[in-house]
Amino acid sequence: MLVIAADEGIMPQTREHLEICQLLGVKKGLVALTKTDMVDSEWLGLVTEEVREYLSGSFLEEAP
């Protein structure tokens, strides 16, 4: 599970954790976007799109 806070978006540790998972050969996972109640819908849309773009081409590209 890759956890990303909606109020902060993708942080350096997010990138590090994804790289570690890829190095370990993890094939499946899911993405949890937390703190969605702390942001407005416009910001949530921007963060969601940022996450989708970042995960494109990774093992989490189609993850729930």
Q: Is the dihedral of CA 3, 18, 12, 10 positive or negative?
A: negative
Q: What is the pLDDT of residue 3?
A: 97
Q: What is the spatial distance between Cα 36 and Cα 41, in angstroms, rounded to a whole number?
A: 9
Residue 2 tokens read as 């890759």
Q: How many angstroms separate the first and last alpha carbons of the chain? A: 10
- The H-or-E segment that residue 20 falls in is helix 12-23
Q: Is residue 60 part of a domain?
A: no
Q: Is residue 23 part of a domain?
A: yes
Q: How confident is the model at residue 11 (pLDDT cuts 50, 70, 90)?
A: very high
Q: Is residue 64 part of a domain?
A: no
Q: What is the pLDDT of residue 4?
A: 97
Domain that holds residue 36: 2-55
How many domains, the chain? 1
List, for residues 12-48, the tens digit of each pLDDT value.
Answer: 999 999 999 999 999 999 999 999 999 999 999 999 9
Q: Is residue 61 part of a domain?
A: no
Q: What is the pLDDT of residue 48?
A: 97
